[in-house]
A and B are shown apart, each in its own frame.
Chain A
Amino acid sequence: MELAKNLQTTINKSHGKTDLYVDLAQSISGILLVGFLWMHMLFVSTVVINPALFDTLSIGLDKYYLAQFGIPGTVLLIIVHIFLAGRRAPLRLRDLRIAWRLTRMMNHYDTWVWAGQVITALMIGIMASMHLWTIMTSWPLRAATSAARVASVGPADHSFGGFEFPFFIVFYVIFLIVGEYHAGFGLYRIFVKWGWFERHKMGWLLKGITVIIIALGFTALYTFTQIAANLPAGGAIH
């Protein structure tokens, strides 16, 4: 705590309530994003019950401009969350080194989980952008278009020596796990910090929810591949 006494920290001391607001905003943006993600997965899973239901829901979201406002809103929220939560991550090389060494040395469960959250955050940053790009370029979102996307293989332009690889299904399996992991444990950490529930019980509950949602996601992905198999050839998008 030596540094706390020098002039730099004296004149730049945080005054007022900025730190409180920033911390609150971080928690709130996190809660909203978890809410979004879980709802998103529930909506997607309607395809398991019936693809027509999925389409009705999707058309409804477009018709009442929920998608048109919801998507940019969520993107904005993600960007805000990156800035707010990112300030907690070890960013300097020195900090990274300390954090990594200590995590490995202590081998403490929650600290490992947190290291996982930092890594999944980076992956989500990249994968969410890719996901967003692909859905926007094959708009509107319908069961058939989603199925075609999930089942598409590529890059398969053989004139350039392309190969066939079920890129999107692999992509979505990883994205699903990474996203739900980050959301589930993120919510756990928020609850732990504010102390609203008993820590261990709540941890198990959130793990349960996360596993259920991942399972739902897997079922939905499987359903999409089945739909894609029945699509007329050439009807595939991408």
Chain B
Amino acid sequence: MRQLTFSIFRFNPNIPGDKPRMQEYKLEEQDGMSMFVALTKIREELDPTLMFDFVCRAAICGSCAMLINGRPRLACKTLAKNMPSRITMMPLPVFKLIGDLCVDTGTWFKDLQIKTEAWVHTNKKFDPKALEEKMDNEVAEKIYEPDRCVECGCCVAACITANIRDDFIGATGINRVARFMLDPRDERSDADYFDVVGNEEGTFGCVGLMGCDDLCPMEIPLQENLAYVRRKMAAAGLKLQFQGVKVS
């Protein structure tokens, strides 16, 4: 088995005087070793002060995203056998650094939920005793596609636009809106959606760099979903103009 060298970003902004630096650790490669296993081993055997995030270890929670050899990836889904023997690890850009490889994606995503109003808008009264309404299987599957997003933030980190524009909602944000547009239970009109994403902070801010589409660890078809929202918003915007009033 190979000897692996990990070069890991170290910096704790909460320690006064601490400076960002890269620190090296050496480990023996193991069968089926993921970056999660490697980091845990480093923390247990070499350096208990190393900070990084994990919850599910199975690409479900999205908390372990980091830059591995420069690319945003989920550490638990990245296997050592697919990597060269020298591996660099850095925290995701854009998000607030907590320390070493930990970033706060939670606050960013909470803001995103509020900004895109990411909940089903309906005037129907909820009756807890009534039988749940059935949804067409095809529709359900369509909604499920964008809904697979685990909020890891990889697409945000991979996007130059999101890196240089603080207010850009990123592919995950536009994808989120697509999810509600597809949902027949959401009663929002196109004009309502236009207010949310029909601007440069949303769909018209995207430059089409496709870092998001290529690097999303869940392989969500982001290009398609982004283009869907863009087309829909353009159509809505142009139609609005013709009639001079809000139309759905």
Contact = CB atoms under 8 A, between A and B. Distances in A.
B241 to A, nearest CB: 7
Contacts of A102: 93, 160, 163
B44 interface: no
B211 interface: yes
Contacts of A110: 209-211, 214
A5 to B, nearest CB: 8
A17 B241 contact: yes
Contacts of A32: none
B24 to A, nearest CB: 18
B227 A195 contact: yes
B209 A95 contact: no
Contact-residue size bin, chain B (C-beta under 8 Å from the other chain): 35 or more
A147 B7 CA distance: 58
Given A20-B198, A102-B160, A189-B208, A195 B230 contact: yes
Interface in B169-217: 169, 194, 198-201, 204-211, 213-215
Interface of B: 67, 70-72, 93, 108, 111-112, 115, 158, 160-161, 163-164, 166-167, 169, 194, 198-201, 204-211, 213-215, 223-224, 226-228, 230-231, 233-234, 237-238, 240-241
29 contacts: A3-B166, A4-B167, A17-B240, A19-B198, A19-B204, A20-B233, A88-B207, A90-B160, A90-B164, A95-B164, A98-B160, A99-B163, A102-B93, A105-B67, A106-B71, A106-B211, A108-B211, A108-B214, A108-B215, A110-B214, A111-B209, A111-B210, A114-B160, A114-B207, A189-B207, A193-B207, A193-B226, A195-B224, A195-B227
Interface of A: 1-5, 9, 14, 17, 19-20, 22-24, 88, 90, 92, 94-95, 98-99, 102-111, 114, 189-190, 192-196, 199
